[in-house]
Amino acid sequence: MSDTATFNLLNRLDETFTYIDTVLKGTGKSIGHNGENATGSAETQSQNNVLVHCQVGMSRSAAVVMAYLMKKKGWTFEYSYKFLKEKRSMVTEKSFGEQLREYQDILGIETETHRVQY
């Protein structure tokens, strides 16, 4: 995934979300970025966590997590960004903010919707 505003993040979301959901539900194996088995210990597997990462952890991985929150929780881009920024202060919307706002429109999320507390 390229960290540029011209990279079409939206085209990769469905396959990425399928992978995340599979691991969170405990129905699949964790696979490392090179395709190697990355399941780790039985204790790690039972927690059903997913690490979404990129080289620096401020743009690409953050955009994927924000998009996931938007789709799964119905959160607006702004709310998802604020939530993630509180967890990881270096998160930026610089490269993918415009695409995520477009994704919000695609999902039909109204900007004044009721927001669930996190």
Task: Give catalytic status of residue 94 as yes or no.
Answer: no
Burial of 3 (0-12, 13-18, 19+ CB in 10 A): middle
What are the φ and ψ backbone dihedral angles of 74, each rounded to 5 degrees? 75, 20
pLDDT in tens, the chain (118 residues): 655 566 788 998 999 999 999 989 886 665 555 555 555 444 444 578 888 887 766 588 899 999 999 999 999 999 999 999 999 888 887 778 999 999 999 999 987 654 555 5
Domain 52-111+114-118: which topology? Answer: Protein-Tyrosine Phosphatase; Chain A (3.90.190)
Residue spans of the domains in the chain: they are 10-50, 52-111+114-118
Q: At what angle do helices 77-87 and 97-107 cross, to 10 degrees?
A: 130
Catalytic residue among 22, 54, 73, 78: 54
The reported pLDDT for the residue numbered 41 is 45
The reported pLDDT for the residue numbered 100 is 94
